[in-house]
Structure 1
Amino acid sequence: MYFYAMQTALEDLSKEDLLRVISSRDEKIEYLESQLAMYRRMQFGQKRERFEGDPNQTSLPFDAEPAAVEQQQEAIREKIEYTRKRPNHKGRAKLPEHLPVEEIEIHPGGDLSDMVCIGKEITEELECEPARFYIRRYIRYKYAAKNGEGVEIGELPERVIDKGIPGAGLLALILTDKYMDHLPLYRQKQRFARENIQIPSSTIEGWTKEALIKLHPLYEQLLFDTKTKGYLQVDETPIKVLESDKKGACHRGWYWVYHSPLDGMVLFHYQPTRGEAAAEKLLDTFKGYLQTDGYGVYRKYGDKEGITHLACWAHARREFEKALDNDRQRASHALSEIQKLYAVERRAKQAGMDAGTFKELRLTESLPVINGLGKWIFEELKNTLPKSQIGKAMAYAYARWDALSAYLYDGNLCIDNNPVENALRPISLGRKNYLFAGSHEAAQRAAMIYSFFAICKKHEVNPFQWLKYTLENIMTINHKNLKDLYPQNYKIMAHKSNM
């Protein structure tokens, strides 16, 4: 009955209406096929990892035959002899020159009284010791005036946690292991236990919290300085937070990340939402170049007076890459043109061009490519199904064409948002290890250390050494000199002290 009714309904349609229905159906089929192809490409491996062995296999023997044991031992002996007599490899890594050297002198055995030393051969190897734990004991001597009018005692240095037992080095190690190397606190506790140092989990968590609180003044300075930058890249990434209004569920919070490409400053700012209000504290008064992906929240700020909105060519390229299975010919053409733009960027970077020269190169070589690609997209859009993946890729680029071209204004501007995306990677690694933040406050405290460790990475600063120095000095430094504790400024100071 249903199919009869459908057939009757189709017969009643005019030719034009029938063609419209068929076209709509074909468009939907093509869209669904492109989605299926994309999801297949995103599938990197089978989900089921259960191993199903031979059901006829008997239980394993626990004792090998004596002959087999003897044969195995002979094979091991030959292997050991082989490793001893291996020829020298063609090259070896150069040992770092800044490391201390421990010299071990080896003289021939036996009586050497009738022999003369005629030289020596030197062999070097890189060695290490596990983290060394020790107790620092402050012994403050008291002195009394001979006339009995007072007592003097040596002043105790400022400590990170008043009346606490951890030193700045231990706290720096804990924070670096957790937020730089993504080692959860419970694993660090296990490492302490191997050294026969028993520390309760709650104690380590308390130390972490107190150490992060000490960084708050420096973070507030970073927050203020970030607002004054004239060029910012912005992106955001989710983080699970245990504190939630829903019983048994985690809240989905967000780290908003701001990167200043001109000086390598990075700011992580936690917000419980991804809405417009989340970016107000940083972007409400911002003036200059703002580079983002296509997320709709950024349009409000990109359209404000005094802001030039830059889009990201990497995101545009990804949309065309997704369309390879939908329309390989046109997607490949777009990708090859975008590749030409990146070739210009690589050549300028390798040549070490200044901003002025770089701008001229872009206007000479990149601008014609952008103009040609823009005209091609404009023409092709007329003959492309909007819901197809290639149609979406073209529409994404076309809707942001002015923002995609805006990087040509200045040689200091980046072609894409990749630098700020790179700063987000530690969050992804952290999520796989410690999964969530305990509260909104804990997520914001983590944002502080993520900020400074990202700056350390940008400026090639040892994060442990910087953090140890900062924890030792942040409570006594003059507030006017607080910026001296920024990682890049610490690097300059440390370099001068080593000269």
Structure 2
Amino acid sequence: MLENTIDKDELIRQLMADRDRLFQENSRLRSSQNMTPEKAQQAYKEQLAAKDTIINKKEALLEKKEARIAQLEKQVDYLKRQLYGGKSERYINPDPQARQLELFEGVDLLPGEKEAAAKAEKEIRSGKEARARRMEKAKKTAVRKALPENLERKIEHVYPEGYNPEEWDLLDGKEPLYTEVLIKEPAKFYVLRTYRHKAIRKADHVIVMADCPVKPIAKSYASSSLLADLMVDMYVDHIPFYRQHKQFERSGIKIPEPTILGWFQEVSGLLMPLHFRLWELMKKTDYLQCDETTLPVVRSDKHKTVKGYLWLVRDPMCGRQYFYWDKGSRSGEVVLKLFSGYQGALQTDGYERYELLDGKKGVILLSCWAHARRKFSDAIKNDKERAESALEQIQLLYEVERQIKDQALSFEDAAKLRVRLAYPIMVRFEKWLVAEHARVIKGSPIEKAILYTYNRFNKLSRYHLDGRYNIDNNGIENAARPVAVGRKNYLFCQNDDTAESTAIIYSFMGCCKAAGVDFRTWMIYFLDHVHDYDEDYTKDIADLLPDNLKAVGLL
């Protein structure tokens, strides 16, 4: 018996298909015999046209699929980098001996511009080598740091096995060896009961009763320390309130979850006037950075969670941060409303809504070189030679910034160094962008990177005019990281009020971090003194800002 039996039904289907094909071909031949030569030629042309149409459709479909494949490959590469690759965007040439400047040799530069760029590059590279030698010389072997001296130390003694004071003598004059371990004990809760006594003055027989201590939240048993810990656990350590509720239960303290949420709203309400005052002071400066990040919020009318946007403004000079929530909107109306009346430089990413401010009198827009660098990093697989050449030039600009930081230059000297070293590099780079755009494939990643950089080049190059300006927006992106970590834990805000309260808390958490002040310590001080400003309008509530309290030695 054969191992592979013949499928009779399949054989019949094949025979019928072949017969049908032969019948159709025979019919076509018969009809062509009856045609005139003109009709036969016309039929032949129609067949060719039909075939061309089919081929064109297939080619268009193939191009569409190839574009989709390239897009998916780019997404896969990005996700692989996020999962397994390094997150640093700083470009490091894998082969320091290989030069990426060949493409720059053909740029149409004026003799003076070419000479200035070459001279600046040579000085930048020599400074980089000198800094690398200093760093190599300063490297030391890592040593484990001792435990802080300010911690309480409890002493215990361990003696040799079989030690008896009557039979053994300790070796006097030699300090015994010791080891230290760090001990942690659970948090301690206690209740402070305050008795208010009445007394009568003998002179006039007036009865006086001690005043009730002012509480942060009226008619509440929550102390400043408890409220501060709730905020720290939620927004610094990213422990949602429902998990804190479970922690209290494990400690034998039962605080209803709605009570905790109510305290949170009360604390944010106390912080709101200071939040308004913070923004008033920041708008009076002449250099700010702005960015936005997502914050999911529940919409009761839609019965689902939607993506809202939390705006962040940072003062690079003092580090103050201001988070702003406007019903989750990311529209241009928010940009105009937020920066209404502002006069000065504003550094942003490539979001087009900020362009609404470009024409306003007194506002100067600065762009971010890190975003431009990111575009060329994404284009390396598309055009390795051009992308790495561009990254090499951007790296020279960043090397100038490292020299400024390493030498601790003043703002005035930093601007002079940028004019002398960074500006010639940018002139050469801009002309390279113009020349190379005509040679790359339209719609390719390298073309998008070139267009992105060239369209913003005037805003990218403005940073060299003032030593205070930063080369990129990385400072504000780092300030937005607590929001990214937090939303992975508490997932979403229950409504717009909660999102606005979240913005307020994040604002002062960022201000504390920038001022080098412990957030819990500041929060306790604020809650203990905020009611001092309830009726005395001669006081400025800005005195309670973290950096101001630190400046006068209260924190």
TM bracket, shorter-chain basis? 0.7 to 0.9
Distance (whole Å) between structure 2 residues aligned to residue 27 and residue 353 of structure 1? 54
Tell me the matched-pair count.
443
What is aligned with 2:549?
A: 490
Distance (whole Å) between structure 2 residues aligned to residue 295 and residue 90 of structure 1? 43
What is aligned with 2:261?
A: 205
What whole-Å deviation, never above 9, does each CA across 1:97-151 have from its counterpart, x for those lacking one?
4x24234253856436996854544544433333221111112221124478432
Normalised TM-score (structure 2): 0.74
Distance (whole Å) between structure 1 residues aligned to residue 380 and residue 541 of structure 2? 52
1:163 aligns with 2:219: yes
Per the TM alignment, residue 90 of structure 1 is displaced from its structure 2 partner at its CA by 8.6
1:39 aligns with 2:91: no
Q: Is the 8 A contact 2:336 2:356 kept in 1?
A: no
For 2:165, which of 99, 111, 120 is the aligned residue? 111
What is aligned with 1:443?
A: 499
SS at match of 1:101: coil
Distance (whole Å) between structure 2 residues aligned to residue 204 and residue 266 of structure 1? 26
For 1:8, which of 49, 58, 63 is the aligned residue? 49
Q: Which amino acid aligns with 1:488?
A: D
Per the TM alignment, residue 28 of structure 1 is displaced from its structure 2 partner at its CA by 5.9
Residues 363-402 of structure 1: pairs in structure 2 closer than 5 A: 363-402=419-458
Per the TM alignment, residue 29 of structure 1 is displaced from its structure 2 partner at its CA by 6.8
1:214 aligns with 2:270: yes
Check 1:459–1:294 CA distance in 2 against 1; reply closer, same or farther (3 A cut).
same
Q: Is the 8 A contact 1:456 1:487 kept in 2?
A: yes
Normalised TM-score (structure 1): 0.82
Q: Is the 8 A contact 1:27 1:385 kept in 2?
A: no
Distance (whole Å) between structure 2 residues aligned to residue 484 and residue 46 of structure 1? 43
Distance (whole Å) between structure 2 residues aligned to residue 240 and residue 11 of structure 1? 51
What is aligned with 2:389?
A: 333
What is aligned with 1:96?
A: 148
Per the TM alignment, residue 225 of structure 1 is displaced from its structure 2 partner at its CA by 1.2
Check 1:107–1:274 CA distance in 2 against 1; reply closer, same or farther (3 A cut).
closer
Per the TM alignment, residue 227 of structure 1 is displaced from its structure 2 partner at its CA by 1.6
Distance (whole Å) between structure 1 residues aligned to residue 69 and residue 276 of structure 2? 51
Q: Is the 8 A contact 2:298 2:493 kept in 1?
A: yes
What whole-Å deviation, never above 9, does each CA across 1:374-428 have from its counterpart, x for those lacking one?
1111001112233111111100001001000010110110001111111111111
Distance (whole Å) between structure 1 residues aligned to residue 490 and residue 360 of structure 2? 39
Distance (whole Å) between structure 1 residues aligned to residue 82 and residue 325 of structure 2? 35
Q: Is the 8 A contact 1:212 1:449 kept in 2?
A: yes
Per the TM alignment, residue 487 of structure 1 is displaced from its structure 2 partner at its CA by 1.3
What is aligned with 2:4?
A: none
What is aligned with 1:304?
A: 360
Distance (whole Å) between structure 2 residues aligned to residue 185 and residue 448 of structure 1? 17
For 1:264, which of 309, 315, 319 is the aligned residue? 319
Check 1:298–1:91 CA distance in 2 against 1; reply closer, same or farther (3 A cut).
closer
What whole-Å deviation, never above 9, does each CA across 1:69-107 have from its counterpart, x for those lacking one?
xxxxxxxxxxxxxxxxxxxx994313224x242342538
Per the TM alignment, residue 450 of structure 1 is displaced from its structure 2 partner at its CA by 0.2
Residues 123-272 of structure 1: pairs in structure 2 closer than 5 A: 123-146=179-202, 149-246=205-302, 248-272=303-327
How well do the aligned residues superpose, as a CA RMSD in angstroms?
A: 2.9
Q: Which amino acid aligns with 2:244?
A: Q
Q: Which amino acid aligns with 1:240?
A: P
What whole-Å deviation, never above 9, does each CA across 1:18-57 have from its counterpart, x for those lacking one?
9xx999999867744542331120232999xxxxxxxxxx
Check 1:360–1:215 CA distance in 2 against 1; reply closer, same or farther (3 A cut).
same
Distance (whole Å) between structure 1 residues aligned to residue 480 and residue 239 of structure 2? 17
Distance (whole Å) between structure 2 residues aligned to residue 497 and residue 266 of structure 1? 21
Distance (whole Å) between structure 1 residues aligned to residue 226 and residue 296 of structure 2? 28
What is aligned with 2:460?
A: 404
What whole-Å deviation, never above 9, does each CA across 1:195-225 have from its counterpart, x for those lacking one?
1111111111111111121111111111211
Q: Which amino acid aligns with 1:130?
A: P
Percent of aligned pairs with the same residue? Answer: 36
Check 1:373–1:144 CA distance in 2 against 1; reply closer, same or farther (3 A cut).
same
What whole-Å deviation, never above 9, does each CA across 1:131-176 have from its counterpart, x for those lacking one?
2211111122211244784321222221111121110000000001
Q: Which amino acid aligns with 2:392?
A: S
More divergent stretch after superposition (358-367 vs 139-148): 139-148
Distance (whole Å) between structure 1 residues aligned to residue 158 and residue 77 of structure 2? 64
Q: Is the 8 A contact 2:325 2:500 kept in 1?
A: yes
Q: Which amino acid aligns with 1:262?
A: M
What whole-Å deviation, never above 9, does each CA across 1:266-303 have from its counterpart, x for those lacking one?
10000121101112332121111011111111001122
Q: Is the 8 A contact 2:318 2:514 kept in 1?
A: no
Larger Rg: 2
Distance (whole Å) between structure 1 residues aligned to residue 281 and residue 296 of structure 2? 28
Distance (whole Å) between structure 1 residues aligned to residue 307 and residue 168 of structure 2? 80
